[in-house]
Amino acid sequence: NAGVTQTPKFQVLKTGQSMTLQCAQDMNHEYMSWYRQDPGMGLRLIHYSVGAGITDQGEVPNGYNVSRSTTEDFPLRLLSAAPSQTSVYFCASSYRNEAFFGQGTRLTVV
């Protein structure tokens, strides 16, 4: 049982580049979410989805896009990366109020 899988684990981008962080879950959970973790800030919610075709913004959505075409996948897109988006990104899927996290993607924007 793979749970929540995030790819890549590490990524370095140049300012202005675009990329997609992938997140896939095999637990058939309707709810998925993206968080970013910065030192001294804990985890902050970027976007979330309550099912295929439905997404909404969290606390820090600016600079990020999401879509949810299938139950399994919830990619996070950075259209024009900025140094302020250097962070560790966690994807989670949830069931009955319990969240299951992926191992994270460490992104550096130079």
Binding site for other proteins (CB under 8 A): 30-31, 33, 35, 40-45, 48, 50, 58, 90, 92, 94, 96-99, 101-104
Using the minimum distance from each CB to other proteins, give the nearer residue, 78 or 92: 92
Q: Which helix (H) or strand (E) holds 4?
A: strand 4-7
The token pair that represents 41 in the structure block? 């800030």
Using the minimum distance from each CB to other proteins, give the nearer residue, 59 or 110: 59
b/e map of 2-23 (b: 16 or more CB within 10 Å)? eebebeeeebebeeeeebebbb
Using the minimum distance from each CB to other proteins, give the nearer residue, 67 or 101: 101
Shortest CB 50 distance to other proteins, Å:
6
